[in-house]
Structure formats: C-alpha cells, structure tokens
Amino acid sequence: MQTTDTLLIHRLADKSAFVVFNRLNWRTYIIGFNQVIENLNAGIIKSISSEEFIALTAKEQIETLFKADYWDTFK
C-alpha cells in the first residue's frame, strides 16, 4: 500500500489490479494489471520494461509508477 495526501493505492493479492482511492473526490479506481503492462509496452513509461516491472514487489511497482507520474491521472 502507498498513500499520499490525495491517493491511497494497493495492488491486490492476486496481482489482477491496482486499486486507487482518491481522498478528495472519494472515487475508487480499479486499474487492471494487464492495462499497466500494456501501457509499459506502449512506451508510456520509458524508464522500465514490462519484464523488469513484473519482477518488482507491489511497493516497488507502485513507487515506479509514482516516479513516472502514472497516478496523476487519478488525482
């Protein structure tokens, strides 16, 4: 789990999705893990390949996506 002032983010135990709760608008987002991988393969995040990403822990994956401003979409 990762938190910011605005977002609360988990990766589900079966790695099927990341789930995001926005503390400002109280919306919940479910982002399929495959969708993130597709985004990586499409080059949206250039700093890491999808293979490298899959090998990371949940915390590392969420942090990597933070660094790439991936979660800004849900703010």
Nearer to another protein, 15 or 67 (CB): 15
- Pick from 2, 4, 6, 23 the residue near another protein by CB under 8 A: 23
- Pick from 2, 4, 6, 26 the residue near another protein by CB under 8 A: 26
User: Residue 65: exposed, middle, or buried by beta-carbon count in 10 A (0-12, 13-18, 19+)?
Assistant: buried
Determine if 68 is a binding residue for another protein (CB under 8 A).
Answer: no
Determine if 32 is a binding residue for another protein (CB under 8 A).
Answer: yes
Contact between 71 and 9 under an 8 Å Cβ cutoff? The reply is yes
Contact between 2 and 66 under an 8 Å Cβ cutoff? The reply is yes
